[in-house]
């Protein structure tokens, strides 16, 4: 099977004996650097181990169902690299479901293409949730068996589109709404970004971060410190956006618009790579059908 059939390079370690968690991570790292794609990056097992440890300290990657899934991003990596290990005996450590680890999976993700890493996680999660596939994964003895199983899962999974992920928009502004009223609406609903609708048509977006940028004079962006500010006149006078302004005066008109048939990959790219806070799903006339936030996207991926 080549990468066109399943675009992830997989290595497999059956019956792995480990002393502790550090031994596990270092063993996985040593196996990973033998992969042809990892070799091109020139990264050492020690560096992978260090990055994994930092990631684990920030947020442990034991996900339940007997699996721990340490993962890091690497610049210059051409394809995701996976080292899947079946432990010789269950290993006790803190897990979400209090089940000991029976399997470990190190995932190296291309910095320039993080989407494939997310897709692999979704495929592996689907394997673990389906009893028949979980048994096949547990009984695998070679990397090729694992890749074939993952390829089957990906082929069988319904292709998610924007319409499957979006939620109705419940908070919005209108072009003629006073800015003071719009910001109150955002604060009351704890929304940092809201769409601007003219009837059903999406015409703009209002975001708190952009409002702050609009309100601060140009020379502020050149400063390295604001310690001097105490010697200035009251800071409020430097804000150039008047409270009496209307939404249409300050709204962003360049928006990330997607049709409802846009794929999951397109949505992930817009949010994770292009750093869009909200993605808008519209019809042919730019009528707003729904919105997708990062939180909604992550929830949908996790529950695939």
Does domain 9-155 fall under CATH 3.40.50.620? My reply is: no
Q: What is the pLDDT of residue 91?
A: 96
In terms of C-beta density within 10 A (0-12 exposed, 13-18 middle, 19 or more buried), how is residue 108 classed? buried
What are the average pLDDT values for consecutive 10-residue runs of the chain, which has 304 residues?
A: 71 95 97 95 95 92 92 93 96 91 95 82 85 90 92 76 86 93 89 93 89 58 50 49 74 90 86 87 92 82 58
Characterize the bridge pairing of strands 257-258 and 278-282.
parallel
Fold adopted by 164-302: CBS-domain (3.10.580)
Q: What is the pLDDT of residue 235?
A: 47
Task: Say if CB 82 and CB 60 are below 8 A apart.
Answer: no
Domains of the chain: which residue ranges?
9-155, 164-302
Give the CA diameter of the chain: 72
Task: Say if CB 127 and CB 149 are below 8 A apart.
Answer: yes
Q: What is the pLDDT of residue 122?
A: 83
pTM above 0.75, yes or no: no
Q: According to the 3-state scheme, what is the secondary structure of the chain?
A: CCCCCCCCEEEEEEEECCCCHHHHHHHHHHHHCCCHHHHHHCCCHHHHHHHHHHHHHHCCCEEECCEECCEEEECCCCCCEEEEEEEEEEECCCCCCCCCEEEEEEEEEECCCCHHHHHHHHHHHHHHHCHHHHHHHHHCCCHHHHHHHHHHHHHHCCCCEHHHHCECCCCCECCCCEHHHHHHHHHHCCCCEEEEEECCEEEEEEEHHHHHHHHCCHHHHHCCCCHHHHHCCCHHHHCCCCCCCEHHHHCECCCCEECCCCEHHHHHHHHHHCCCCEEEEECCCCEEEEEEEHHHHHHHHHCC
Q: What is the pLDDT of residue 276?
A: 86
Q: What is the pLDDT of residue 3?
A: 47
């Amino acid at each position: 099977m080549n990468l066109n059939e399943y675009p992830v390079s997989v290595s497999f370690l059956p019956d792995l004996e480990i002393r502790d968690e550090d031994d596990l991570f270092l063993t996985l790292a040593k196996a990973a650097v033998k992969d042809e794609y990892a070799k091109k990056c020139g990264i050492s097992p020690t560096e992978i181990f260090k990055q994994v440890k930092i990631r684990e300290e920030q947020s442990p990657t034991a996900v339940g169902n007997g699996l721990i899934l340490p993962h890091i991003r690497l610049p210059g990596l051409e394809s995701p690299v996976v080292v899947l290990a079946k432990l010789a005996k269950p290993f006790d450590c803190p897990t979400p479901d209090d089940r000991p680890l029976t399997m470990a999976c190190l995932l190296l993700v291309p910095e320039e293409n993080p989407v494939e890493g997310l897709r692999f996680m979704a495929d592996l999660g689907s394997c673990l949730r389906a009893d028949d596939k979980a048994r096949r994964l547990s009984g695998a003895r070679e990397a090729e068996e694992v890749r074939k199983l993952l390829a089957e899962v990906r082929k069988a999974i319904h292709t998610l589109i924007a319409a499957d992920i979006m939620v109705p928009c419940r908070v919005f502004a209108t072009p003629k709404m006073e800015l003071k009223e719009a910001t109150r609406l955002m604060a009351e609903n704890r929304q940092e970004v809201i769409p601007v609708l003219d009837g059903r048509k999406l015409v703009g977006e209002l975001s708190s971060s952009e409002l702050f940028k609009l309100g601060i004079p140009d020379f502020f962006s050149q400063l390295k410190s604001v310690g001097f500010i105490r010697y200035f006149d009251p800071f409020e006078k430097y804000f150039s956006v008047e409270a009496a302004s209307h939404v249409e005066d300050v709204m962003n008109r360049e928006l990330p618009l997607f049709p409802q048939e846009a794929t999951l990959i397109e949505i992930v790219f817009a949010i994770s790579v292009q750093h869009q806070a909200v993605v808008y799903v519209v019809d042919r006339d730019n009528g707003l059908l729904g919105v997708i936030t990062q939180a909604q996207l992550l929830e949908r991926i996790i529950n695939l």
